[in-house]
Structure 1
Amino acid sequence: MKILSVSTATNHLSVALNEDQQVIVEKNERDERNHSKHLDPLIEEILKENKLTLNDIDRFAVAIGPGSYTGLRIGITTVKMFASILNKEVVGISTLQALAKGVKEPALVITGLDARNDNYFAAGYISGDIPKNVIPDGHYNIDVLIKAIQEYAAQNKVNKIIFVGSGLEKRDEKIKTLDIPYEYGTDEQNVIHAGLIGQLAVDAEPVDPDKLLPRYLRRTQAEVDWHKKTGKPFEPDSHYVEEV
């Protein structure tokens, strides 16, 4: 099964072609912050180099969040369009699970993306071929995240923690209070790789392209402003996402 995978969730752009679990090719651009211009050329480059067309792809996969609001929409809209037009399968993969898959050694993997003001999009996973989620993907203040790790560690044997993603090393003084051996991820582990998304996509359940939506894990500023202005309750993400 040929899988084309995309991550536009952060400032790191990644596109990969997999044949089942084998990563055929992965191309990455770091800190470009211009995914709308660079995504399609990267896809075209990968297909051309491997003498393929979009119609040769069996399944599309994309990081659905958390991450940059604009970035997520770019990647998700692109694969939704491909899957809808070509009648192909599509799956969404948690950004945080994709980060956890980059860790090969046995550990509790805390994946996090800096959300500013001591807040993180974060989760806890047990490393493995398909990382097992043990602390739910969420939007956490650092103190709440530390408490969640402590509660999990108190009920489970945790010999080592590996922190991957962005910004967690800035909170090292708080992390030390866990009193559990830990380390931070390498540069390669700290970014999202489309090849790993493709590997997770092999066993993931395909969804209707119209139901593939971003998982922001917190309200956008536009939603907050709308709520303040109207007084109406927040609605499902699908009410705020443009259909393609």
Structure 2
Amino acid sequence: MKILGIDTSSQVGTVAIMEDDKLIGEYIINTKKTHSQKLMPMIDEIFKLCEISIEDIDLIGLCIGPGSFTGLRIGAATAKALAHVRNISVATINSLESLAFNMNFSKGIICPIMDAQRNQVYTCKYIWENNTLVSVEDITVKNIDSLVEEIKERYEEVVLLGEAVDLYKDKLIDLDNVYIAPNSHKISRASSICELAFEKYKKGDVKNHYDVVPYYIRKSQAEVQYEERLKRMGENGK
């Protein structure tokens, strides 16, 4: 089985191809280019270098969020289009789970954090239990200072990773019980998406392209501002 993995949930754009348990190829681009500029060229290039085409893909693994609203929409639209053309099933993976999967050698609490703007992060906590990644809380949005205080109260080591680590490094680096993941594991990797997608496929947990939607958690800043503007207009009209 050949799996195409796609993750555009953060500034990082990453795609990978895995055949059963073998990683064939992976692209990771961490630049300020938009995903609309880099996603399809990465997919085209990895197909060429791996000497396969979309006709050879049996499953698409897609990161659905939370994360960048625009990035998630681009990734979802691309995956849905590819799946529609070839009638390929899609396995959806959340961004925090895929980040935590990067740290499969960790013994402590794994805490991925992604920028949610306004001094907030998307986060969740995971542990490895019997070689299986297990979430120990629900995905949520937290103020970074509240999360720091929460981490300070834990007695075990907490592994931090994700794009928000660099954004708030000054608040995190001096915590005694924190280990910041190395650069090779700290960012999104489509190879992790592929592996998680394969596990979901084996359990029958896949979707058709019509049912694939991004996982936003909350409204975008633009939607919030629009609703606030409508509310003010209503109050002024009274």
Question: Which band: TM-score by shorter chain?
Answer: 0.7 to 0.9
Q: Partner residue of 1:118?
A: 119
Alignment partner of 2:183 out of 184, 187, 193: 187
> What are structure 1's unaligned runs of at least 5 residues?
232-244
The equivalent of 1:27 in structure 2 is: 27
Amino acid of the structure 2 residue aligned with 1:200: L
Which deviates more, 222-231 or 98-107?
Answer: 222-231
Deviations 1:82-130 (A, max 9, x none): 1122111101111111111111221100100123332111111114654
Match of 2:83 in 1: 83
Aligned length: 222
Query: Cα 1:93–1:45, aligned 2, differ >3 Å: closer, same or farther?
Result: same
The answer to whether the 8 Å contact 1:80/1:210 transfers is yes
Show CA shifts across 1:213-244 (max 9, x none).
Answer: 1112221123223433556xxxxxxxxxxxxx
- Give the share of equivalent positions with the same residue, in percent: 30
Residue 92 (structure 2) aligns with? 92
1:137 aligns with 2:139: yes
1:23 counterpart SS class: strand
Match of 2:212 in 1: 212
Q: Deviations over 1:3-40 (max 9, x none)?
A: 00111111111110001232111011111332112211
Change (3 A) 1:44 1:202: same
Task: Identify which range, 139-148 or 183-192, moves more after superposition.
Answer: 139-148
Deviation at 1:164, TM superposition (A): 0.7
Partner residue, 1:237: none
Residues 148 and 171, structure 2, Cα contact 8 Å, conserved in 1? no
| Corresponding position: 1:47 with 2:43 | no
User: What SS is found at the alignment partner of 2:43?
Assistant: helix
2:192 alignment partner in structure 1: 196
Distance 1:149 1:136 in 2: 16
Distance, in Å, in 2 between the alignment partners of 1:96 and 1:43 is 23
Q: Aligned with 2:28: secondary structure?
A: strand
Tell me the secondary structure at the aligned position of residue 216 of structure 1. coil
1:241 aligns to what? none
The alpha carbon displacement at 1:149 in A equals: 5.0
1:102 and 2:102 are equivalent in the alignment: yes
CA distance in 1, matches of 2:124, 2:146: 12
Deviations 1:139-170 (A, max 9, x none): 1112443466578x5xxxx6321111123423
| Alignment TM-score, normalising by the size of structure 2 | 0.84
Q: Residue 135 of structure 2 aligns to a residue in which SS?
A: strand
RMSD: 2.2
| 1:242 alignment partner in structure 2 | none
